[in-house]
């Protein structure tokens, strides 16, 4: 029985070797019937594949049952996209399980979509608008455009700070105003028309003791008239009243004084007597500073005419 067992073991070993050689020689041949052939480098077998028009890495992966990463590793420096007529090396590997192939196909499909998005021309965002990108927040968008988060919320009718990937946001006051017809800018105020000042009507001054008293009603009595020099009352005091000193007129008498040089006239009230000294010999009346200034502002004496009514 021992020789028979040895013979059986020998036959099994020969069959295993033959099966391994058959797999190594026939499987690549079956896989490369649409390729340019094979290449062996560093103990690894590679299929030389000529890219068909429009063919992608995903399609090559499905044809030969290898991953995209394996194809990239076998072709150092290979660009992301393939071009028609390009010859690439595809590593040969034993057939994988259905689950492994499904996982790789799914990953390859995602990779193909990503490459397709890269190849799509970028759509320019209109001025004053922003499309939310991956990882962006309302704060980062506000900082980017130099505006307030509150403004972005107002311009876009937002009730929170949450933003959504791909969301279009208004980030400009100008664009917000243009898109909101109900909001009208404040009109520029016209310059106020220059109004002519109303004529100033001088109020009639109230009757005070400062002004000369009006001419009294013609009393019963004798009109007295004199002429001579008029002089200022030199007391050092400044009075705003129209007062006078006279020799004989009763105190309280209203006296009309006229400057013979300029014909100015005023009424003054007698409040005292002129001292009977030689210095006052030619003086007919002394006037308060205010009254004197009214009649003769440039001298200390002037020729005057006075008149008043004496009850006697």
**Beta strands 168-170 and 222-232, pairing class:** unpaired
Q: What is the pLDDT of residue 235?
A: 66
Is residue 11 situated within a structural domain? no
Structural contact between residues 132 and 169, judged by C-beta atoms closer than 8 angstroms? yes
Domain that holds residue 90: 25-119
Is residue 41 situated within a structural domain? yes
Is residue 57 situated within a structural domain? yes
Shared-domain flag, residues 33 and 110: yes
Question: Among residues 94, 119, 144, which one ends one of the domains?
Answer: 119
Shared-domain flag, residues 105 and 152: no
Q: Residue 21 half-sphere exposure, CB side, CA atoms within 13 Å? A: 6
Is residue 248 situated within a structural domain? yes
The enclosing domain of 174 has a CATH number of 3.10.350.10
For the chain, the domain total comes to 3
DSSP states along the chain? -HHHHHHHHHHHHHHHHHHHHHHHHHHHHHHTTTSSEEEEETTEEEEEEEPPTT--HHHHHHHHT--HHHHHHHSTT--SS--TT-EEEEE--PPPPHHHHHHHHHHHHHHHHHHHHHHSPPPPPPTTEEE--TT--HHHHHHHHT--HHHHHHHTT-SSS---TT-EEE--HHHHHHH-TT--PPPPPPPPPPPPPPPP-PPPPPP-TTSPPPPPP--SSEEEEEEEEEEE--SS----S-EEEESSSPTT-EEEEEETTT--EEEEEEEEE---SGGGTTEEEEE-HHHHHHH-TT-SEEEEEEEEEE--
Shared-domain flag, residues 303 and 284: yes
Is residue 212 situated within a structural domain? no
Shared-domain flag, residues 48 and 101: yes
The enclosing domain of 276 has a CATH number of 2.40.40.10
Backbone φ/ψ region at 38: left (φ over 0), alpha (ψ -120 to 50), beta: beta
Cα separation, 245 vs 266, whole angstroms: 15
Q: What is the pLDDT of residue 169?
A: 94
Is residue 296 situated within a structural domain? yes
Shared-domain flag, residues 70 and 33: yes
Shared-domain flag, residues 169 and 148: yes
- For the entire predicted model, the pTM comes to 0.32
Shared-domain flag, residues 227 and 292: yes
Is residue 112 situated within a structural domain? yes
Shared-domain flag, residues 115 and 133: no
Mean pLDDT, the chain cut into blocks of 10 residues (312 residues total): 62 52 43 69 86 86 84 82 87 71 79 70 73 90 90 92 92 88 49 59 54 55 87 71 88 91 90 86 86 77 88 67
Is residue 263 situated within a structural domain? yes
């Amino acid at each position: 029985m021992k020789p028979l067992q040895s013979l059986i073991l020998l036959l099994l070993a020969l069959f295993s070797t033959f099966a391994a050689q058959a797999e190594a020689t026939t499987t690549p041949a079956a896989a490369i019937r649409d390729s340019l052939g094979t290449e062996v480098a560093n103990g690894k077998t590679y299929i030389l594949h000529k890219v068909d028009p429009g063919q992608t890495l995903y399609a090559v992966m499905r044809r030969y049952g290898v991953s995209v990463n394996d194809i990239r590793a076998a072709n150092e420096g290979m660009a992301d996209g393939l071009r028609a007529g390009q010859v690439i090396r595809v590593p040969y590997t034993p057939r994988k399980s259905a689950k492994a192939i499904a996982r790789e196909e799914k990953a390859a499909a995602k990779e193909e979509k990503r490459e397709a998005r890269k190849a799509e021309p970028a759509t320019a965002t209109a001025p004053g608008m922003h499309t939310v990108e991956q990882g962006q927040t309302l704060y980062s968008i506000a900082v980017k455009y130099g505006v307030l988060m509150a403004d972005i919320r107002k311009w876009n009718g937002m009730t929170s700070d949450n933003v959504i990937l791909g969301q279009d946001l208004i980030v400009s006051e100008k664009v917000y105003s243009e898109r909101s017809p109900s909001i009208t800018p404040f009109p520029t105020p016209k310059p106020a028309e220059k109004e002519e000042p109303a004529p100033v009507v001088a109020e009639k001054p109230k009757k005070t003791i400062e002004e000369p008293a009006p001419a009294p009603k013609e009393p019963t009595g004798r009109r007295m008239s004199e002429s001579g020099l008029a002089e200022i009352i030199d007391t050092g005091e400044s009075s705003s009243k129209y007062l006078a000193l006279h020799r004989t007129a009763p105190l309280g008498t209203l006296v009309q004084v006229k400057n013979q040089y300029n014909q100015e006239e005023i009424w003054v009230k007698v409040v005292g007597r002129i001292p009977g000294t030689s210095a006052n010999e030619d003086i007919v009346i002394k006037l308060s500073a205010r009254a004197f200034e009214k009649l003769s502002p440039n001298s200390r004496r002037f020729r005057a005419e006075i008149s008043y009514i004496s009850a006697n």
